[in-house]
Chains A and B, each alone.
Chain A
Amino acid sequence: MPRYGIAIDSTKCIGCHSCRVACQNQNELHFDETFNWIKSKDRGQYPSYGKEFIPLQCNHCENAPCQRVCPTGATYTSKEGVVLVNPKTCVGCKYCMEACPYKMRIIDHRRGIVEKCRLCIELVREGGTPACVTTCPTQVRIFGDLDDPNSAISRFIAQTGAQPLRPDLGTVPKIFYKRS
């Protein structure tokens, strides 16, 4: 089984939000619901002033606190290592939202359940690539199998030393960032 992840090169992100809307459509989300966010960070003063755009989404943690606290077991990890929510058993207690240190979960009030990035697993299983990856004009995201040392993502991580966000939190994320 592959173990999927995404590598993100934030030095290429232009904050265009295409990934956000592509994801909303792929997953049929309302305009005010999203599975990914573009945050920005300023540093320094001109002439060394800089601004970085950082795309955020669920990290599909191997040691996922959201899954640990979920009373119903609605949050589970798929065979490909993708952390998913079963909408049929989720009760909407929101405990997982509190537990996620990255705050990458949202509540869908229409269905009364919690949702999050699904790594477009249904698309991926059909041989596709996640919507946020394909639409990105500057190819910020690289999707692939972390267990395959020859995959584009593994090579990218090996070459650039890309790191997860806040690895010290101990959740073992599968989204890696190259930030400078």
Chain B
Amino acid sequence: MQQSAWGWLIITYLFLAGAGSGAFIAAVACDLLAPDWSKALARAGSLVAGPLVIIGTLCLVFDLEAGFWQPWRQFYMIGNLRSMISWGVIILSIFIPLALLYAAALNEITFVGKLAQKYVTAIEIIGSLFAIATATYTGVLIAVVNGVPFWNTPLMPVLFLASAISTGLAAAMIVAAIIDVKTIKTLSNFALGHVIFLSVEGLVLMLFVFMSLTRSTEAALSASGLISGTLSPYFWGLVVILGLVVPFILSVFEFLEYGKMPKSLVVGADLLVLMGGMSLRALIIFSGTPPQII
């Protein structure tokens, strides 16, 4: 009896698809809500969204077996509209071109970019919908799995969406800092974003974990594995403290100190958010326990 069929490739996929779609949402938010001083971030977000999702999708494809060696089999993958993978394939194949188009538009890449600029608002609206769909679907993908009661909760898509947005924002901020170091100062405006989304994510995470303790025996087993079992050092250390609390505190200071924080700490907080997001996915996958059947 195989215990866990999915491993690091799927975890990476779940993480990158989330971070990519989150970055898209962050970019759109910057472009629409705070056009002037946040241009750098919008551009960075749009640039990073597509590639992250593409790399994530490649991970998914690498994880396929027959579908990898005989790629034409992948066409079958939209064959069952009751399957979240079929939906995922459809969503991704629409979102990825949109994300690339958006990057081209905001960064004026080639004539395509120029052309796309005309429809940028439409791209932003439709793209955001598909970005939300991508982030949410990665959660739904595992939430519908009866085989693992711990995952089987409507909170899962919410948690994945929250985590997608905070990691997406972090990814965008890092890229913005790389493209233009000076933006670091203006980036502090977005620390508030981190403060908000990390709080939301933390809240949902705690809800998810603690409610699991009473949902079913198996969910409780998984949850207590995270809280106090063998996985607990990783859960508390990587996800909660380094991935949520520390970046949260740093972000609060960053917001209050406005631009006076050392650059390394600003980027450091973002890296921690990314690390936390990845660890969260990994721990959720690894702590999944099948029902006790005998």
A→B interface (CB under 8 Å): 37, 39, 41, 54, 56, 65, 68-74, 87, 89-95, 97-107, 109, 111-113, 165-166, 169-171
**What is the CA–CA distance of A113 and B5 in the complex, to the nearest angstrom?**
12
B→A interface (CB under 8 Å): 1-6, 60, 63-70, 73-74, 76-80, 82-86, 89, 142, 144-148, 288, 290-294
Chain B residues with Cβ below 8 Å from A37 are 1
What is the CB-to-nearest-CB distance from B74 to chain A, in angstroms, rounded to a whole number? 6
**What is the CA–CA distance of A111 and B64 in the complex, to the nearest angstrom?**
11
| Interface of chain A, main secondary structure | loop
Chain B residues with Cβ below 8 Å from A101 are 146-147, 290-291, 293
**What is the CA–CA distance of A105 and B290 in the complex, to the nearest angstrom?**
13
**What is the CA–CA distance of A100 and B288 in the complex, to the nearest angstrom?**
13
Chain B residues with Cβ below 8 Å from A73 are 76, 79-80
Partner of B146, one of A65, A104, A165: A65
Contact indicator B147/A71 (Cβ below 8 Å): no
**Which residue on B lies nearest to A111, using beta carbons?**
B66
Chain B residues with Cβ below 8 Å from A102 are 1, 290-291, 293
| Interface of chain B, main secondary structure | loop
What is the CB-to-nearest-CB distance from A84 to chain B, in angstroms, rounded to a whole number? 15
A-B contact pairs, 23 of them (CB 8 A): A54-B294, A56-B1, A56-B294, A71-B76, A71-B83, A87-B66, A90-B73, A91-B74, A92-B68, A93-B64, A94-B5, A98-B142, A100-B147, A101-B293, A103-B147, A103-B290, A107-B65, A112-B65, A112-B67, A113-B65, A165-B294, A169-B291, A171-B146
Contact indicator A94/B76 (Cβ below 8 Å): no
Identify 9 new A-B residue pairs, CB closer than 8 A, beyond the known A71-B89, A93-B85, A94-B6. Answer: A68-B83, A89-B76, A92-B64, A94-B63, A102-B290, A102-B293, A103-B290, A105-B2, A107-B2
Chain B residues with Cβ below 8 Å from A91 are 64-68, 73-74, 76-77
**What is the CA–CA distance of A166 and B291 in the complex, to the nearest angstrom?**
9
